[in-house]
Amino acid sequence: MNKYLSLSPEVEQALQTGKPVVALESTIISHGMPYPQNVETALRVEQTIRDNGAVPATIAIIGGKLKAGCTPEEIEYLGKKGQAVIKASRRDLPVLIARGEDGATTVTTTMIIAAMAGIRIFATGGIGGVHRGAETTMDISADLEELAQTPVMVICAGAKSILDLGLTLEYLETKGVPVLGYGTEELPAFYTRHSGFKVDYRIDSPEELAAAFRAKMEMGLHGGILVTNPIPEEYSMPADVINKAIDAAIEESHKLGIKGKQTTPFLLAKIKDLTGGDSLASNIQLVLNNARLAAKTAVALAQ
């Protein structure tokens, strides 16, 4: 066991006995939503995973420990502290651990800690990717590199629609990451079901997802698998509405000089304001939808 890794008793027992476990990130708590919706959503997501037969493991860095399985009190702590918590990517881990500080885990760091713990399935909202204008800014999320090297299946609602989705898919293809569409051949774009881009393969059952991941592991192939699960139809936002809000948010971020790890939280908050809160409601529903699929896939993988 890694000496910096701390498993909750529930998660530790589940892993020891071969029960299905689903990892959850904590940046969505600290940076993805306002308080108290962030805490309420995190607890609903955990309950959704339990209702579908798996054990939730919310992952975070607390007091310099890599936590796999946060208590409700720890989730409340992260939710209240909000953006005062450091948004921790791979590069931040050594210093945060050495200093005994807190960190909210991105997709990247959640994958790293999940893999250390032996958790293979991870549910999130959307992954990071190649930002618009990356041909000049080189702003590319570390999530893509992590998918190329860390053996975790990430179930999401596609890449965040603030990104350049075409370049994100090209990057994942270069890195050999399978991009699977759950019940769809089209890449979903977070708030909306449609992007105009194709995924590599359509998959129609949790059992098939588990079989693909098992085959990848048994062949000794590096890296993970990205599963894109469209937001439920009733919560999908019209593409023209969300794209107009995204364009306005990106323009304002450029004017304010916002860059790096602050970009995504700024854009999500601005889009929420521009859509009158509709994007937040959609965000919550797509995370719950991904948690359901992740739990069912973890159950299939454990069998």
The catalytic residues are: 25, 160
Residues 6+ apart with CB under 8 A from 226: 127, 147, 153, 154, 156, 172, 177, 178, 179, 180
Which residues is 57 bridged to in the sheet? 23
Question: What is residue 120's three-state secondary structure?
Answer: coil
Using the structure block, give the residue that is written with the tokens 């962030």.
38
Burial class (CB in 10 A: 0-12, 13-18, 19+), 180: buried
Torsion-angle region of 283 (φ positive above 0: left; ψ -120 to 50: alpha; else: beta):
alpha
SS3 content of the chain, % helix, strand, coil (to 5): 50, 15, 30
Residue 126 · residue 157 · CB < 8 Å: yes
DSSP secondary structure string for all residues of 69-102 = S--HHHHHHHHHHGGGSEEE-GGGHHHHHHHT--
193 phi and psi angles, rounded to 5 deg? -80, -15
**Cα–Cα distance measured from residue 80 to residue 68, given in angstroms and rounded to the nearest whole number:** 20
User: Would you say how long the chain is, in residues?
Assistant: 303
Parallel/antiparallel/unpaired status of strands 65-68 and 55-62: antiparallel
Using the structure block, give the residue that is written with the tokens 């509709």.
278
Q: How far is CA 232 from CA 6, 162, 271, in A?
A: 35, 19, 20
